[in-house]
Structure formats: structure tokens, C-alpha cells
Structure 1
């Protein structure tokens, strides 16, 4: 009987929080999986038995995964090959992925018919960005008669503790080329180019943010049929944001391909502890309502970006594990929406036509204005 939940990367920076939160909800059914059984055991011991350890290596998944016991896999590691995810879906195992690598997520969409036939649900774009960003874009679409363009901006606090994998992805993405959709057509842009000032509200003020290859800007034109979507990134320190943009503009980012320089850059970002531990996600939507042009704005902020990602992922994983969702491959905004739950609080609620109890997401503050 399928009842196990396997969190791959389940003792890492974000995966550890997800494992603990799911373990509290479904004690004894959650496995924190990773290459090191010893690290998995040390982590599981801290949960008092709510989470169990598992040795798992993605390169040997055919020998290591017993799909007949696993009801849900939560993937907290970056991948470029979709073979494992496809195997999950073919076996009827549900799948939730928190990664932000657009090409990989796009490749998974091709397996939606296989998933539907096996009655397996896959949910992509799960977390803060992508994830909350997608859900706020959905709110903009619901508010307007027609949504023409969406600007997404993410601000990260340098005083926060970020996982090594996230730091490596950020460093490796500086100056990288990626695809975006503008006016319905696909075009190329470069990371940390195209600076644009974003209003993050009264408390945080406005910041200059730069293009960054988050996957939401590649999936939203397909899921919400928005002609233009852009996602930008900044840090709570304007000086550091400008420095990274300057490194990109001068071409110095090419030095990051040198192994020791890259390692030094990753270490430097990891050791930074000035600034705040806060984050903010801002979505601006432009379109029409009742024949008039309208601009809507949504903001979610809080402390500890990794913890926020884990909370959203746990809410999605819980809904998937409890059943009742359609089979297929979906992005978060295709199955869920954000709703207010008390003053400034938000909950994850299934989209219209799907009966599910709302999942309260603690610690995320929500605001909107026009």
C-alpha cells in the first residue's frame, strides 16, 4: 500500500524544514532521503521518530526507489534529466518539485498524459519564487478582465542564511542568457540586465531590480496566457545589487567560470551577514477592467526565505498527499490560489471546482493595493 512520503534532499537547508513539517503532520510516514545515510540518521534522530532516514542517490534511483510503497515524492534537488520524475508518475506516485530551473520544468509538462493515466499528480513551481509569485500572478488575472503583462520582483535579505545550492545557482546565473516572453513572442535576455525600479511598499520602499532566470516568467505565459512576463531580483543592500549588475555589465562575471574564483564568490555570499533576514515578493499586473486600464499590485513578505519556501511546499505537499486532486502535471497556480486568512495572513486554497480544505501558511504577510 502506498503511504510513504520521500523528501529527496530531505536533510538539506530547505528540504530539512519540509521533512520536519511533513513529519509533524504524518509522523512515521516521512523519509528524509539523501546520499549520506549517516547525515539522514543524524537529522531523523532530531525529530523524535517523526521522520525516518533513507539513503538515496539520484544516479542510482532504479535500484533504490521502491515505488510500490511511495505515495509522494517531494524533490528538493536540481535536476536536468526528467527520467526519475517520469518514473514516479508512471508508477502512480505523486510528485512535488521546488526547483526554479525553467527548462527542466518545461520538460516535465510533456508527461501530463502519462500522469493522468496513472492517476498521479505532479505540482511544479512550488515555493516562494516560483510558487508564491505564480499565485500572485493568478490573483492579478482574477482581478482583471484581461491581464496583459506581469512584472515580478524578488528581494532577498543578505542577513538571511541561504542554502549552498541556492547561492551556487545565483552565482552561476550572473550573466547567463535565458528566454522570456514579450508581447506573445519569445526573446532572449541576460541575467542582471534590464534594471527596473520596483515599489515594495511603504516599509521597504523602492529598489532597483534586475532580470533573473526564475522559471515563473517562462511558465506563466503558458498557464495564464499572459503575453508579457518578466522576473527580476535584488538584494536588501542596494550597493550589493549594483555591484553584481556592474560585474555583469563589465564582463567580469566570466571570471566566475574559474573554479577557485567561483568557490570564493559562493563562500563570500554564504558568509555575508549584513542587512536583514527578510524577503519580499512583489507582483505588478497591468490590464483592463470594465473597459478601463488598471494596475494591480500584490506583496508578500516575511523573514527567512528558505523557511517560507518550505512552508509553501509543505502546504502543497499536504494537499497532494491527502488526495482529491486531478491527475496530470500542473504548476501551482493551476491547482491553487492564495486567500486571506485573518489579518495579514494567507492560506493556500484549491482552485474552483476542487474540494480541499485550505492550508494556512504561517509567517507570510500579505498586502495588495491599486
Structure 2
């Protein structure tokens, strides 16, 4: 039986619904918005004029084998605690795309041996803004140098933007997190909202102090790009809120967010109140050598509505995988795609060295690109 369906788990959520709309316009009737709440899925389906269909599905339970027979591709928009669902997809020949920032899950899935586990399809990880476009920016900048020694990634999120519940909870849950990064080829333990560094995001955004945060791009790029030192930092467009978060961490009060009631209040506050704008920005600073001399290059992207660019990036890679998938295995976005820049415009291109597969270009509308370099 030919697999034709695309199932977006969390497909009626903030990001998932936008992914569904893009894919549903291209493949009407073949895209399913899946989740536990069939009523919400049905309501969303009706809002698309039936281009997207509803499906009741729990990401925590086993997948119906009959359902897997029809599923060509699954897009996961929810954080996963283990790899069972992804493994079931890959073993049945269903491609798997993950739109999450759960470093532990991504690392666990990446460690699975495709041959040993009998994978018949491809998993694509690090899809979205961060990880995702940050990975592609880092890879593009690193290609400009002969040797890359260090990559510093900075992310600015607009608190006036509308963020999904899952994204808000993930951010609050990690305000006091400790995590591992790679420095000079060795692991180092660091903490969220420490070790601030000034980042110039270009245009009229000026400079902001960004602090360490456990985005998984810094955990995977040392492996995919072979770079000895990678760090990722976060700030908000409201400097006062960024400073308050850093003070909360420094004082130790961030541990109070482990209390369920206080955590719920913090998530609600981030979701209800608009402290800033709807703009986002990401920037990579890459240091190394060019022609035997020290060199550095800065690449950046800015735009509005972080969820929209996340959805656009995810939809772009899904459209490519639907038509031309790689060999079975587990990949990160920078291993299969590259960024094409024309002026200030951005597009996704496949990274096929031989140009195999059908022609493909996907414009990332709404994002503006810039670069600066220091060359010998």
C-alpha cells in the first residue's frame, strides 16, 4: 500500500496549525491535525475548509499499525520523553520530522543506530528557528572560513509576540537549568541565564545582553560541523525582563519555579502580558582562520512572529522530504539543507552535492538576512 498521509502531532496548536495550513494547501486531504482532543482538531479542520483533516492520536501511546500503513510522514510538534514513537515511525517506513527544542530527546534519537534498529525511513531533527535556522546560519558562516574554532549563537525573542503554550512552558522550565556545552572539544557544565554576552542583532535592534540557555543547537553542532566550541544565548527584546531573569537566576529564586503553582503563574504571565514587540532575531558569530590569518564572520536573521518562521521552516523541509527523502537514518537540518541568500531574502535549498532529486527551493518569507565579516 502506498503511503500518502502527513500527520502533524500537535497540529491544532500554535505552531502545528500553521504547519498544517501550509501543507494542507499543497496536499489537500492528505494532511491530518492530530492530538488528544478530537473536538479541537475538528474545529481546526473546519477552519481550513477541509484541506486539513482531524485525527485523535496520543503521542504517549503506541501507534496503530493500520495508521502507520498510510502515514508517509509524521511531524512532531510536542516534546517527547522517549524515542518509542519516533522508532515506530522509522521502522515502518514513515519519515519523522521533529519541531522541538528538547535536547535530551534529540540526543537520544541521534544515538540510535539505523541498521541495528531496522530504520526504513529518515528522521530530521533541529527544525524550526532555534534549533533550525540557527544551525543553517552557523553552517553557512563556517563554510566561509578555512577552519572554524568557535561559534557563538545569540537569540532574541519578542515578548510582545504570541507564543504557544508548549514554548512558554519550555522557556520557564529551563530558566534555572544546568546543562552541558562543548568548549575546546571538551564538555563543560553551565547554567541558564549566566555568563552574559553583548550581541549586536543589526538594523535598529541595537545591542542586547544575552545569556546562556539550553537550546540544543549548541549540543549537536560540534558533532555535525566539527567545531570545538559552540554556545547559544538568549535574551528578550525587553532588556528589563532579560535583566530580571538573570537576577532571578543569580539570586537562586529561579528554583521557586519548581513549585507547580508558581510555575503556572509564571507561564500565564509570559502568555498574557505583552512586554515588548513581536520581533525576533538570531545571530551567529563564527571565529576561525582564512588564508592562514584570523577571521570572523557574522550572520543574522530578523523578522516578526517567531512561530510563523518556525512553521515555514518545518513546512519547507517536509515538502522536500515528501517528494525526495534521503537514505534511512537520523539527520539534523544542516546535514540535508542549506540557506540560499539573495539580497535580504532567504530560501531553503537541499544540500545535495550532486543535485539529485527534483528541483526544490522554498522561500522563507518574512525573514530578513544580513551579514558582516572581518577578513584579513
TM, length-normalised to structure 1: 0.97
Distance 1:233 1:320 in 2: 31
**1:57/1:64 contact within 8 Å kept:** no
| Secondary structure of 1:78 counterpart | coil
1:299-314 → structure 2 map (5 Å cutoff):
299-314=300-315
| Secondary structure of 1:60 counterpart | coil
Query: Is 2:283 aligned against 1:294?
Result: no
Distance 1:40 1:92 in 2: 25
Residue 40 (structure 1) aligns with? 41
Residue 315 (structure 1) aligns with? 316
1:235-314 → structure 2 map (5 Å cutoff):
235-314=236-315
Distance 1:358 1:339 in 2: 9
Further displaced range: 193-202 or 230-239 = 193-202
Residue 350 (structure 2) aligns with? 350
| Secondary structure of 1:275 counterpart | coil
**1:221/1:227 contact within 8 Å kept:** yes
1:104-183 → structure 2 map (5 Å cutoff):
104-114=105-115, 118-183=119-184
How many residue pairs match? The answer is 369
Residue 73 (structure 1) aligns with? 74
C-alpha deviation, 1:61, in angstroms: 2.6
Distance 2:355 2:88 in 1: 26
C-alpha deviation, 1:27, in angstroms: 0.7
C-alpha deviation, 1:21, in angstroms: 0.6
**1:92/1:118 contact within 8 Å kept:** yes
Describe the shift of the 1:347–1:361 C-alpha distance in structure 2 as closer, same or farther (beyond 3 A): same
Identify which of 363, 367, 376 aligns with 1:364. Answer: 367
Describe the shift of the 1:312–1:293 C-alpha distance in structure 2 as closer, same or farther (beyond 3 A): same
**1:86/1:111 contact within 8 Å kept:** no
Query: Is 2:203 aligned against 1:202?
Result: yes
TM, length-normalised to structure 2: 0.95
Any unmatched runs of 5+ in structure 2?
none
Calculate the aligned-residue CA RMSD, in Å: 1.4
Query: Is 2:177 aligned against 1:213?
Result: no
C-alpha deviation, 1:340, in angstroms: 1.4
Describe the shift of the 1:17–1:317 C-alpha distance in structure 2 as closer, same or farther (beyond 3 A): same
